[in-house]
A and B are shown apart, each in its own frame.
Chain A
Amino acid sequence: MGKMERFSFVALVAGIIFFLFADFISWALPMFVLKDIPKKSVEDLAAEAIAKNTTAWSDFNKLARYYPDSFKKLCEYTEAYSGAGDVIKDCKPNEKTFAKALRIGHRWYIAEGCWNCHSQMVRPVSNETLRFGIPGVSNTVSYPSEFQNELQAPVLWGTKRIGQDLIRVAAVHDVSWHVAHLYNPQSTSPGSVMPGYPWFFEKDKNGNIVPNERGIALLTYVMWLGSWEVKPPKSFRIETAEK
Chain B
Amino acid sequence: MAANNQELQNLVNYGLVKAHVAMGLIFFIIVALMGFLYSLQLDGIYPLAGIEFLSPGRVRMIHTAGAAYGFLVNMFTGLLYWAVPRFTGYRILSNALGWFMFIALQAAVLITVVAILFLGMADNVEWGETPWWLDPIIVFWLLLHLLQFGAPLFKASQRGPLYVTGWYIAAMLVWTPLVVFMGNLIPRFWAVGSGAGAVQSTFIHDLVGLYVTPVAWGLMYYFVPVIMKKPMWSHGLSLLGFWGLAFFYPMNGVHHFLWSPIPMFAQYSAVFATVAVEFAVTSVLINFMMTLRGSAEQLKYNVPLRYMYTGAIFYWITCFQCAFHVTLTFQKVIHFTDWVTGHAHLIMFGTFGLWVLGMAEYVWPRLFGKETMYSKGLSEGAYWLLMIGVLAMFFDLTAAGLVQGFDWIGLNPWIDSVNFSKPFWYFRSIAGIMMITGLFMYALNFYKTATAKTGLTAELREA
Contacts and interface: CB of A to CB of B under 8 A. Distances in A.
A15 to B, nearest CB: 3
A173 B287 CA distance: 57
Nearest to A165: B336
A27 B199 contact: yes
A156 B193 CA distance: 9
B57 A112 contact: yes
Give the one of B166, B259, B408 with max A CB within 10 A.
B259
Given A6-B157, A147-B194, A153-B188, A30 B122 contact: no
A26 interface: yes
Interface in B118-133: 119-126, 131
A6 B171 CA distance: 11
Give the one of A27, A115, A148, A190 with max B CB within 10 A.
A27
Contacts of B195: 27, 30-31, 34
A5 B196 CA distance: 35
Interface in A153-177: 153-164
B162 A6 contact: yes
B200 A155 contact: yes
A10 B405 contact: no
B96 interface: no
Contacts of A10: 162, 166-167, 170-171
Contacts of B399: none
A26 B266 contact: yes
A123 B192 CA distance: 19
Contacts of B192: 39, 147-150, 152-153
Interface stretch (B4-12, B22-30, B172-180, B358-366): B172-180
Contact of B52 (A26, A153, A155, A199): A199
Given A11-B171, A144-B193, A195-B57, A162 B162 contact: no
Given A10-B170, A25-B269, A30-B262, A190 B161 contact: no
A149 to B, nearest CB: 6
Contacts of A236: none
Contacts, number: 255
Contacts of B404: 161
A125 B124 contact: no
B337 interface: yes
B271 to A, nearest CB: 11
A189 B200 contact: no
A18 interface: yes
Interface stretch (B38-46, B300-308, B316-324, B431-439): B38-46
A30 B171 contact: no
A196 B336 contact: no
A23 interface: yes
Given A5-B162, A19-B210, A108 B157 contact: no
A154 B123 contact: yes
Contacts of B94: none
A131 B408 contact: yes
Contacts of B170: 7, 10-11, 14-15
A192 interface: yes
Interface string A5-46: 111101101111011011101110111011001010000000
Dominant secondary structure of chain B at its interface with chain A: helix
A111 interface: yes
Contacts of B411: 127, 130-131
Given A113-B57, A152-B193, A161 B259 contact: no
A1 interface: yes
B154 A7 contact: yes
Contacts of A241: none
B113 interface: no
Given A18-B246, A25-B266, A5 B193 contact: no
B56 A147 contact: no
Nearest to B48: A195
Interface residues of B, number: 97
B257 A157 contact: yes
A142 interface: yes
Contacts of B423: none
Given A34-B195, A153-B191, A5 B259 contact: no
A110 interface: yes
B266 A191 contact: no
Given A5-B162, A164-B414, A156 B58 contact: no
B49 A195 contact: yes
Contact of B336 (A13, A23, A119): A119
B408 A8 contact: no
Given A26-B198, A39-B192, A110-B123, A11 B49 contact: no
A229 B131 CA distance: 32
A162 B42 contact: yes
Give the one of B50, B199, B408, B419 with max A CB within 10 A.
B199
Interface in B268-303: 269-270, 273
A115 B124 contact: yes
Interface string B130-154: 0100000000000000000010011
A182 interface: no
B251 A152 contact: no
A18 B247 contact: yes
A56 interface: no
B266 A157 contact: no
Interface of A: 1-2, 4-8, 10-11, 13-16, 18-19, 21-23, 25-27, 29-31, 33-34, 37, 39, 81, 107-108, 110-117, 119, 121, 123-128, 130-131, 142-145, 147-150, 152-164, 189-193, 195-199, 243
Given A117-B57, A127-B411, A193-B41, 9 more contacts: A1-B161, A14-B167, A26-B250, A29-B263, A30-B263, A124-B259, A131-B414, A143-B261, A155-B196
Task: Please provide the 9 A-B residue pairs with the shortest distance between their CB atoms, ordered closest to farther.
Answer: A15-B174, A113-B57, A22-B250, A111-B120, A14-B246, A5-B161, A147-B193, A31-B195, A7-B157
